[in-house]
Amino acid sequence: MLVSRSLGTWGTVVLAGVILAGCSTQANRAPVEDRGQPVSSSASGTDKPLPGAENAGKPGYYTIRPGDTLIRIGLEHGQSWKDIARWNNLDNPNVIEVGQVVRVVPPSSTASAAASGSPSGRGVAPVVVTPIGSNGSTNGSGSAATPAPTPAPAPTPAPAAKGADDVDFIWPASGSLIAGFDEARNKGFDIGGKAGDPVVAAADGRVVYAGAGLRGYGNLIILKHNNTYLTAYAHNQTLLVKEDQSVKKGQKIAEMGSTDADRVKLHFEVRRQGKPVDPARYLPSR
């Protein structure tokens, strides 16, 4: 009886130890990591800044917000998402974090972006007119002479660059206009038609996106025409071009459809340096 009682007591002690061990394990469970904060946690538990945090707020950089994708960031900054991934050494472009800071201009353009943010607005020094003569007169009579007309300054580099980037666009589809540009509600033109109607490139360019990865646009093509202009073609039924392919003005690039839309239509956008602008300013009159 003594032996039996001793074993019973020992069993009770062991059982109690197991219960306590289980409670201890439950209490020490690792916390859930919050990836939406501006810092990320390493395996050792030490917080560190997210990639690019030191560039937050600088010209030419963008801080990622909830819902962002590289495709949308590229569209809104007039760049190819592949270029943005390369400039930021992103091994997996599908993995970005809220609070992460990415470069959205080419590395060689960062200094230019900083200069454009100077008080003068364009980084161009003002023209200084020097008076002729120390006393303001130019003849021997002592009276002030009419200053000689100042020659018109040569065109500054900034306007010349803008002129060089002008694009001669054509209409991307032959259907009727069913919705015009509204900066708040419609960032381009909606052009009606039938499923399968041709969609053509509005100008020469390079395909920087072809797919369905941008919510609200369905099957989408984005063309980059130069460093200033992009055009977007949304809701297509079929895409006929691939990324990095060069296309010519008037070339068929897609067939009209209704993907991610309530009817068959082409949603067409013109973006100047990433900002949507009214296509009516760029398309010829019908």
0.85 surpassed by pTM: no
CA distance 139 to 78: 57
CATH superfamily, region 177-281: Glucose Permease (Domain IIA) (2.70.70.10)
Q: What is the pLDDT along the chain (286 residues), one digit of tens a residue?
A: 444 444 444 444 444 444 444 444 443 333 323 334 444 544 445 567 788 889 999 999 999 999 899 999 999 998 999 999 999 999 888 889 999 999 999 998 655 555 544 333 333 333 333 343 444 444 444 444 555 555 555 444 443 344 678 999 999 999 999 999 998 899 999 999 999 999 999 999 999 999 999 999 999 999 999 999 999 999 999 999 999 999 999 999 999 999 999 999 999 999 999 999 999 999 999 8
For residue 184, count other CB atoms closer than 10 A to its CB: 5
Give whole-number Cα distances, 263 to 54, 213, 218, 269, in Å.
Answer: 46, 20, 12, 18
Strand pairing class (229-239; 219-224)? antiparallel
Residues with Cβ within 8 Å of 214's Cβ and at least 6 positions away in sequence, in order, are: 69, 71, 72, 75, 220
Structural domain boundaries of the chain?
A: 39-109, 177-281
The CATH class for the domain spanning 39-109 reads alpha beta
Residues with Cβ within 8 Å of 94's Cβ and at least 6 positions away in sequence, in order, are: 70
Which DSSP symbol is given to 188? S
CA distance 116 to 205: 26
The encoded tokens of residue 93 equal: 């472009």
The encoded tokens of residue 116 equal: 């454009």
Q: Determine contact, residues 80/224, Cβ cutoff 8 Å.
A: yes
CA distance 9 to 94: 59
CA distance 50 to 255: 42
